[in-house]
Amino acid sequence: MPTFDSVLCRIVGQLESIEKARPKLISIDGCPGSGKTALAQALARACGAQVVKASHFLGTIAEDSSPEEQFAKLYHWDEIEEKILRPTTSGRPIAYTPRDSNTENSEKLLQLCLPSKDIILEGSFISKQEFSQYFDFKIYMNTPAEERLKNLKREGKDQLDRYQSLLSLENWYLETINPAKVCDFCCAHL
């Protein structure tokens, strides 16, 4: 099985081969507990990129709604496109204030990234077909469910409860969107 560092080196090598006159826009998708945040942070350090968490744009979903409705309301998709995707792909700075109620107060300040840094958008269920045109490189964390569950238990009850509330969305997403097929790089369990 490949090590975390060897996978990171492969991703960095692939990113270095992408030539753009503007910062690159990278997505890291995966189900809750798959290791997206750890990879995003390591990749940001290796490449000098800035991480934007999709959870900063969380919407409100009703647990009794269909998976399609949950997906549509999971994030404020329009804000992600307007404040992150469009500015990055046109070489403009990004600026936004996180919406996530779980964000520390110190993070609720305006987030700013200058157009000289690559941007990594990290979050569960972000491989939205309408957004694929914006990303220069798409990564999917394909971590087995048992391992994700262990990771979420380590993170605490809140994370585990949120995961369990999203199980029908997760199943729908994996079958309908099939992020492992639309990504440029699929990471098995690290």
Specify the higher pLDDT residue, 156 or 114.
Answer: 156
pLDDT at 68: 93
Cβ neighbours for 80, distance < 8 A, ≥ 6 positions apart: 54, 57, 121, 131
- Give the pLDDT confidence score for residue 6 in this predicted structure: 92
* Predicted pLDDT of residue 106: 45
Distance, CA of 163 to CA of 157 (rounded, Å): 10
C-beta of residue 122 within 8 angstroms of C-beta of residue 52: yes
- In this predicted model, what pLDDT tens digit does every residue of 48-92 receive, in sequence order? 999 999 999 999 888 789 999 999 999 999 999 999 999 999 988
pLDDT tens profile 83-139: 999 999 998 888 888 875 554 444 556 777 766 789 999 999 999 999 999 999 999
* Res. 165 pLDDT band, cuts 50 70 90: confident
Structural domains in the chain, CATH included, are 4-188 (3.40.50.300)
pLDDT more than 70, % of the chain: 92
Q: Which residues make Cβ contacts (< 8 Å) with residue 189, sequence separation at least 6?
A: 1, 142, 143, 144, 147
pLDDT for residue 102 = 54
- CA distance linking residue 138 with residue 117, whole number of Å: 17
Locus of tokens 């290796």: 46
pLDDT in tens, 26-43: 999 999 999 999 999 999
Cβ(138)–Cβ(18) below 8 Å: no
